[in-house]
A and B are shown apart, each in its own frame.
Chain A
Amino acid sequence: MPKNELIGGSLWEAYSKKVAARMDNPVNRGELTEADARKLGGRLVVADHGAESCGDAVRLYWVVDDKTSVIKAARFKSFGCGTAIASSDMMADLCVGRTVAEAAKITNIDVERSLRDEPGTPAVPPQKMHCSVMAYDVIKKAVALYQGVDLSSLETETIVCECGRVSLGTIVDAIRLNDLKTVADITHYTKAGGFCKSCIAPGGHEKRQHYLVDILRDTRAAMEKENLHKRMETEDFASMTMVRKLKAVEKVFTEQLRPMLAADGGDVELVDLKEAGGAWEVYIQYRGACMGCPSAGTNTLSAIEAVLRQRLGETIKVVAS
C-alpha cells in the first residue's frame, strides 16, 4: 500500500475492534490473592515482567490446580500502551483452562491471532506487534515460577525477531538456502524485522542481542569464504587470476610441501611465479637441511613438482633458485 503510506496510516485505525474493546474494558484486569487461591483450591502464582522505567511492565496472576496443573483463573496488571493492555487481557483468557505445560506453548502470535476480527487481517499494525511479546514473556516467567525451573531452560532456541518469533537458525538457513543479500529479503522470506523493526539494526524501538544486519553480514562473509575455498579447490589453475594462482601455490606449500620437507629438517619457500611458454614456473628457495643436500636438485625437486602438478595441473614446472 505505498499510496496509503505516503500520507501515513493512523495507528489507531489499524487496531481490530477486539483490541479496541479490550483496551476500553480489559475483562481480566486486576489481581488474584492467596484468599482467591484458597477459595478456588489452587496455588497462587504471581509473575512480573518488565519495569515502568523500561517503558513496559506486566504482572500475571494465576491460580493453578496443583493436582492437574490446570490454570483455574488468570488476571493481569499492565503498565503499557493500549495494545499492551489488550494483549495482556487476551493472554489471560488463553491461559484459563489450560495446563501450565500447555500455557508454556502460548506465544505472542497466538495472542495476536485471537485478537483478530477476521482471520486474514492483523489485529494490530506491525510496529505494535511488539506489545504482545510482553504477554509471551510473562507467561514464561509464570511457568518457570510454578515449575521451579530456571527461565532459560524453557527457551530452546535463540529468538532474533520476538514479534514474529523467528529464530537465529531460521534466519541463517534462509540466507544460505536462498542466497539472500538484503535485510528486506530476510523480512520477505522469514517475516523477521517486519514488525517493530527493533531487530533490524541498533537504534530501533529497543536494544536487542542479535541484529539482522549483523547476521546477514556474518552469514554472507562465511558463505563468501566457503565459496572461495571451494573455487580454489575446483577451479582450473590456468583460468585463475595471478593473486589466486599465488594463493593456490602457497596453499600447497603450507599444507603439503613444507611439512613433507620438515620431516627431514628441511624447508622450502616460494620465491616467484612466472609464465613461460604456456607453462607456469614456480621458483623455490631451499632452507634448512635442504640447503646443500645432494638430492635437492634431483629427487626432492621432482617430488615437489609432482605434488604441485597433482594439486594444480600439469602446466607446473619447478625451478630451484
Chain B
Amino acid sequence: MERIYLDNNATTIVDPMVKQAMEPYWCDKYGNPNSLHSFGTEVHPDLRVAMNRLYQGLGAAEDDDILITSCATESNNAVLKGVYFDLIKNGEKNHIVTTTVEHPCVANTCRFLEQQGVKVTYLPVNQDARVEAEAVRRAITEKTALVSVMWANNETGVVFPVREIAQACRERGVLFHTDAVQAVGKVRVDLRAVPADFLSISAHKFHGPKGVGALFVRRGLKLPPLLHGGEQMSGKRAGTLNVAGIVGMGLAMELANDSLEFEDREVRRLRDKLEDGLARLADVMVVGRRELRVPNTLFISVRGVEGEALLWDLNKYGIAASTGSACASESLEANPIITAIGAGAELSHTGIRLSLSRFTTEAEIDAAIRTFTQAVGRLRAISASY
C-alpha cells in the first residue's frame, strides 16, 4: 500500500540533498570541532558555511547569536528559564505574557515557572484563531519581563501578527520571544522585518534532521545558559557540536527559503484543493481563514465523527494525519481553539489536521480526498449523533 504523509506539522521527510550533505560526518569527518588537531579543524569550514546559511536564512546580523540547540523545546526552555533567572528571580520583573495555544514546551515551562512564583497571562485566541497585537499590548504591565507568542500555530496553521507584537513589546521595553517552528519553510521568517529578541526553530520541521534546532538571541541580550559545561557556542550553550546536524540544518534552511515561492504557490494550491474537496462534505468546518494560514495546513472538524476514529480509518488506507481530539489526549475538555472561534460544542470533539509539504503530490491529494470522504461516510453511518 502506498502511504500518504499528511502530517508535516509533526515532522517532515529529510530532503535527500540534506541527507547527502550530512553523510561525510559519520565515518569520515567525525572530528570534534573543539579539538586542536586536523580532525577537529577540518570541519570548521563546513560549520561556517552552515552557520552562514542559518544567519542568512533568518535575516540575522553578524553580532546576533544563533545558538545551536538540540530542538525547539530546548530553545524555548532556554529563553523562558533564562529570562526567569536573569530578570525575574532578582525581583526586577515578575510577569510573562503568552497564549493559550502555545506548544506544550512553552505552556508547560510557563506552568513550571508559575510554581516558582512567576505570574503568567495566557491570552486566548479570537474568532480568527489568532492573538492580536492589541491584546498583547493590553496585557503588558510594568512588571512584564517577556512576551512569548508563536509565529504560526501548529494545529490550525494560523499565522500570528508577530511583527506588530514585536513592535508593541519594543515600545514597552519588554522582551519578545517567538516560537517559529511552524513558520520556517512555510512563510518568510525574517528578523530584519520582525524585531524579535528571541526566536526558536527546529530542523526536522523543514526537511532537516531530528535532534537539532536553534535559538536566535538578538545582539546585546544576555541569557544565562540552560546547559552549563564547556566553551562551545562561546559558553552560551555547552555540549559537543552536532556537526552533521548543523550542516543538515543549514542546508535545510537554505532549501526551505529557496522553496518559499513554490510553497506559496504549489503547496497552497494543493492544500486549497484538498480543503475544497473536503468542504464538499456536509457539516464540516475549517478553522482559520485561508489568507491567515501558512500554505500547508488544514484543520477540519467533521460533525458526527470523532477525530481518533477518523484517524484510524485514514491510517488503515495509508493516510497519516493528526488529531487534536480529546479522545486521543489527556483531557475530555473541548478543544480550546474550536471553542474560541465560536463554533458549536458539537464540533469541539472532532477535528483532523492535515499538513502538506513541498514533497506532497497532486495524486496524493486526490487519493486523500477520496479516502477521507469514504471514511466520513462509514463513521457517520455508525454515529449516534449524525
Query: 1/0 per residue A17-58: CB within 8 Å of B?
Result: 000000110100100000000000000000010011111111
Q: Which residue from chain A places its CB closest to the CB of B335 in the assembled complex?
A: A55
User: Which residues of B come within 8 Å of A, CB atoms?
Assistant: 303-309, 312, 315-316, 325-328, 330-332, 334, 344-346, 348-349, 381-386
Query: 1/0 per residue A67-89: CB within 8 Å of B?
Result: 00000000011111110110000
Q: How far is the CA of A206 from the CA of B330 in the complex (A)?
A: 9
Q: How far is the CA of A198 from the CA of B303 in the complex (A)?
A: 26
CB-CB < 8 A to A59: which residues of B? 384
Q: Taking each of A12, A57, A59, which has the highest tally of chain B beta carbons within 10 Å of its own beta carbon? A: A57
Q: Which residue from chain A places its CB closest to the CB of B350 in the assembled complex?
A: A52
Q: Contacts A79-B306, A81-B309 given; indicate if A54 touches B332 (C-beta within 8 A).
A: yes
B385 and A57 form a contact (CB under 8 A): yes
Q: Contacts A29-B381, A57-B384, A204-B330 given; indicate if A84 touches B344 (C-beta within 8 A).
A: no
Q: Using A52-B346, A78-B382, A84-B309 as known contacts, list a sample of 8 further A-B pairs with CB atoms less than 8 Å apart, ordered by residue number in A.
A: A12-B315, A52-B303, A57-B385, A81-B308, A84-B327, A85-B309, A85-B382, A205-B331
12 pairs across A/B with beta carbons < 8 Å? A12-B312, A29-B381, A51-B385, A52-B304, A52-B349, A53-B348, A80-B327, A81-B308, A81-B325, A81-B327, A84-B309, A206-B331
Q: Which residue from chain A places its CB closest to the CB of B303 in the assembled complex?
A: A52
B331 and A204 form a contact (CB under 8 A): yes
Q: Contacts A52-B346, A204-B330, A205-B331 given; indicate if A79 touches B312 (C-beta within 8 A).
A: no
What's the least CB distance linking B314 to chain A, in Å? Answer: 12
CB-CB < 8 A to A26: which residues of B? 382
A78 and B384 form a contact (CB under 8 A): yes
A52 and B385 form a contact (CB under 8 A): yes
What's the least CB distance linking A69 to chain B, in Å? Answer: 25
B316 and A24 form a contact (CB under 8 A): yes
A11 at interface by CB-CB < 8 Å: yes
User: Which residues of A come within 8 Å of B, CB atoms?
Assistant: 11-12, 23-24, 26, 29, 48, 51-59, 76-82, 84-85, 131, 197-198, 203-206
CB-CB < 8 A to B309: which residues of A? 23, 80-82, 84-85
CB-CB < 8 A to A203: which residues of B? 331
Q: How far is the CA of A203 from the CA of B330 in the complex (A)?
A: 9
A79 and B385 form a contact (CB under 8 A): yes
What's the least CB distance linking B340 to chain A, in Å? Answer: 16
What's the least CB distance linking A255 to chain B, in Å? Answer: 45
CB-CB < 8 A to A56: which residues of B? 327, 332, 349
Q: How far is the CA of A205 from the CA of B304 in the complex (A)?
A: 20
Q: How far is the CA of A137 from the CA of B305 in the complex (A)?
A: 21
Q: Taking each of B307, B332, B346, which has the highest tally of chain A beta carbons within 10 Å of its own beta carbon? A: B332
Q: Which residue from chain B places its CB closest to the CB of A205 in the assembled complex?
A: B332
What's the least CB distance linking B22 to chain A, in Å? Answer: 23
B308 and A82 form a contact (CB under 8 A): yes
What's the least CB distance linking A59 to chain B, in Å? Answer: 4
CB-CB < 8 A to A206: which residues of B? 331-332
Q: Contacts A53-B345, A53-B348 given; indicate if A79 touches B325 (C-beta within 8 A).
A: no
CB-CB < 8 A to A79: which residues of B? 304-306, 383-386
Q: How far is the CA of A59 from the CA of B386 in the complex (A)?
A: 11
Q: How far is the CA of A29 from the CA of B378 in the complex (A)?
A: 11
CB-CB < 8 A to A84: which residues of B? 306, 309, 327
CB-CB < 8 A to B312: which residues of A? 12, 23, 81-82
CB-CB < 8 A to B327: which residues of A? 55-56, 80-81, 84, 131
Q: Taking each of A12, A52, A59, which has the highest tally of chain B beta carbons within 10 Å of its own beta carbon? A: A52
CB-CB < 8 A to B334: which residues of A? 53, 55
Q: Which residue from chain A places its CB closest to the CB of B344 in the assembled complex?
A: A53
Partner of A81, one of B303, B306, B330, B348: B306
What's the least CB distance linking A279 to chain B, in Å? Answer: 52
A81 and B328 form a contact (CB under 8 A): yes
Q: Which residue from chain B places its CB closest to the CB of A11 in the assembled complex?
A: B328
What's the least CB distance linking B304 to chain A, in Å? Answer: 6
What's the least CB distance linking A309 to chain B, in Å? Answer: 53
A55 and B349 form a contact (CB under 8 A): yes
Q: How far is the CA of A131 from the CA of B316 in the complex (A)?
A: 21
What's the least CB distance linking B249 to chain A, in Å? Answer: 23
CB-CB < 8 A to B384: which residues of A? 48, 52, 57-59, 76-79
CB-CB < 8 A to A24: which residues of B? 316
Nearest 5 pairs of A and B residues by beta carbon? A53-B345, A52-B385, A81-B308, A77-B384, A81-B327
Q: Which residue from chain A places its CB closest to the CB of B382 in the assembled complex?
A: A29
Q: Which residue from chain B places its CB closest to the CB of A23 in the assembled complex?
A: B312
CB-CB < 8 A to B316: which residues of A? 24
CB-CB < 8 A to B330: which residues of A? 197, 204-205
Q: Which residue from chain B places its CB closest to the CB of A80 in the assembled complex?
A: B306
Q: How far is the CA of A159 from the CA of B382 in the complex (A)?
A: 30
CB-CB < 8 A to A23: which residues of B? 309, 312
Q: Contacts A24-B316, A78-B384 given; indicate if A53 touches B346 (C-beta within 8 A).
A: yes
CB-CB < 8 A to A11: which residues of B? 328
Q: Which residue from chain B places its CB closest to the CB of A48 in the assembled complex?
A: B384
Q: How far is the CA of A206 from the CA of B331 in the complex (A)?
A: 6
CB-CB < 8 A to B348: which residues of A? 53
Q: Taking each of A26, A54, A203, which has the highest tally of chain B beta carbons within 10 Å of its own beta carbon? A: A54
What's the least CB distance linking B29 to chain A, in Å? Answer: 30
Q: Taking each of B305, B326, B382, which has the highest tally of chain A beta carbons within 10 Å of its own beta carbon? A: B382
What's the least CB distance linking B352 to chain A, in Å? Answer: 13
Q: How far is the CA of A48 from the CA of B385 in the complex (A)?
A: 10
What's the least CB distance linking B104 to chain A, in Å? Answer: 14
What's the least CB distance linking B103 to chain A, in Å? Answer: 17
CB-CB < 8 A to B303: which residues of A? 52
Q: How far is the CA of A81 from the CA of B352 in the complex (A)?
A: 13
CB-CB < 8 A to B328: which residues of A? 11, 81
CB-CB < 8 A to A53: which residues of B? 334, 344-346, 348-349
Q: How far is the CA of A39 from the CA of B176 in the complex (A)?
A: 71
What's the least CB distance linking A193 to chain B, in Å? Answer: 14
What's the least CB distance linking A93 to chain B, in Å? Answer: 16
Q: How far is the CA of A78 from the CA of B328 in the complex (A)?
A: 16
Q: How far is the CA of A204 from the CA of B346 in the complex (A)?
A: 20
What's the least CB distance linking B138 to chain A, in Å? Answer: 28
Q: How far is the CA of A131 from the CA of B327 in the complex (A)?
A: 9
What's the least CB distance linking A68 to chain B, in Å? Answer: 28
Q: Contacts A23-B312, A54-B332, A55-B326 given; indicate if A77 touches B345 (C-beta within 8 A).
A: no
Q: How far is the CA of A81 from the CA of B313 in the complex (A)?
A: 11
